[in-house]
Amino acid sequence: MFRNIKKIRSALISVYHKDKLSDVVRLLSDSGVSIYSTGGTFEFLKENGFEAKAVEELTGYPSILGGRVKTLHPKIFGGILARRDNEDDIRQLEQYEIPPFDLIIIDLYPFEETVASKAGHDEIIEKIDIGGISLIRAAAKNFKDVLIVSSRKQYGELQSLLENKEGETDIDDRRRFAEKAFQNTMLYDASIFKYFNETAHSTDVQVIEEMSSSPAHELRYGENPHQKGVFFGNLYEIFTQLHGKEISYNNLLDIDAALRLINDFDEATFAVIKHNNACGCASDADTVEAWRKALAGDPVSAFGGIIVTNREIDKACADEINKIFFEVILAPQYSEEALQILKSKKNRIILETKKCETAVRQYRSLLNGLLVQDADSLTETAKHLKTVTQKSPTEKEVADLLFANKIVKHSKSNAIVLAKDGQLLASGVGQTSRVDALKQAIEKAKNFGFSLSGAVMASDAFFPFSDCVEIAFGEGITAVVQPGGSQRDNESIDYCNKVGMTMIFTGFRHFKH
């Protein structure tokens, strides 16, 4: 295999931050590498006892225009871009007395940090790096011959390379560093673009930043075995995996749905997620009881599902949970006894969640482009509820309506949720008509032995006709929460007034396609 080994004999160093630079330079000096550097970097090296040559000695020009121009010179870029296997390039290096550079180390001006510090416009403009970006791009382009270190974050990797390979690099090393270099310049330019275009942050730039700045995790496969899957992001900011097999593409979808749902609850709550929908959910001061009530919502669908809670799981709770088969469990904490019980299944994925916000934007590729939107972060509270019927809800009904509304928000449209006493009785999800969603929920509730007398109903969008509230009243449902906004809202309101039901408007739709 052709490895194209190169020995590092000369290096150009131009960095803004000087921390940890000495360790790198010491390795280079010990290996006899000739070092060239600019301005402040040169002074730093001399002060710390390292031998270096100022780029001014090479170019014959001082740093000019207040430091705006230091390295932009043919003797610098010629030494970087020269192709070592090209006779004409080598002849020109000799003709113009240009030394070839094997290693370029750059740390760019801190543009994004300067913007974040609320500095003035002129100061921000001066932190747009020109020479550094140009050096990075030149070295990355010529990765066949040159190693580019484009950020101080790579010093550790460079040190390992220097120590383990005694100052030599192969083509794979240089290509890997070049790839990172182009990623860094893309992010740097994206942050500048965002500063100049204030509307860009919600669209193009965020896609660039979030996908290219995040590590890529190759998954076993995508939604199905014949599809490839990759996750961009740092999962370890969200949770720690304590046990189990590798997390799959479908697991991640359900985990995201589980965390978005549970984050809307302050009271002790358990939920069971299946295909991104809650098939069981309950709140109760007793966590064991909360689990039992959540499971009762649909013990059939719970098989192979995702379990999530916002409270510590203790031994008593783990004993109950361990009675069923499930794929993943998420909790902020586990007792030692609980962990031992839950670890009894080898492949069971046990995740300890951290206090971390989920993504504030959502992306979906379709047709020949990309859809971008803000995540649905609105969670209604009592202040959002507007009673539109003659009869007002009781305190208990308000609690159940808010509970049901949280669940319907996270359910696939068209969606209807039926709840009572802090327990999901049943839901109808992903239906092409709201009536079908309600009928599905009613049938499920009855199949699992629930009485709907005194229950409440939540809808993710308005009722275009009064048919849903008519059906609901016939099953004993006493209160309804919906966004409102239909031209025929009065038909539903009038029916509720006629039969003594309560109807609440929130003013906010929660479609989820």
d(CA 10, CA 33): 5
Sequence letter at residue 258: A
Contacts of 492 by beta carbon, 8 Å cutoff, 6+ apart? 463, 465, 466, 468, 469, 480, 482, 486, 503
Q: Is the four-CA dihedral 447, 453, 456, 459 of positive or negative sign? A: positive
Catalytic residue from among 18, 53, 75, 141:
141
Catalytic residue from among 275, 345, 391, 439:
275
Q: Identify which of 229, 483, 237, 208 has the alpha carbon closest to the alpha carbon of residue 372.
A: 208
**Alpha-carbon dihedral angle through residues 162, 164, 169, 175, given to the nearest 10 degrees:** -100
CB hemisphere CA count around 39 (13 angstroms): 17
Contacts of 366 by beta carbon, 8 Å cutoff, 6+ apart? none
The DSSP letter of residue 202 is: G
Q: At 401, list the tokens.
A: 């309506």
Q: Identify which of 376, 328, 368, 377 has the alpha carbon closest to the alpha carbon of residue 513.
A: 376
Q: At 475, list the tokens.
A: 């099953």
Query: How many of the other CB atoms lie within 10 Å of CB of 279?
Result: 25
Q: At 334, list the tokens.
A: 């586990």
d(CA 122, CA 441): 61
275 flagged as catalytic: yes
Q: Are 412 and 428 in contact (CB under 8 A)?
A: no
d(CA 64, CA 57): 14
CA-based radius of gyration for the chain: 31
Which residues are identified as catalytic? 141, 275
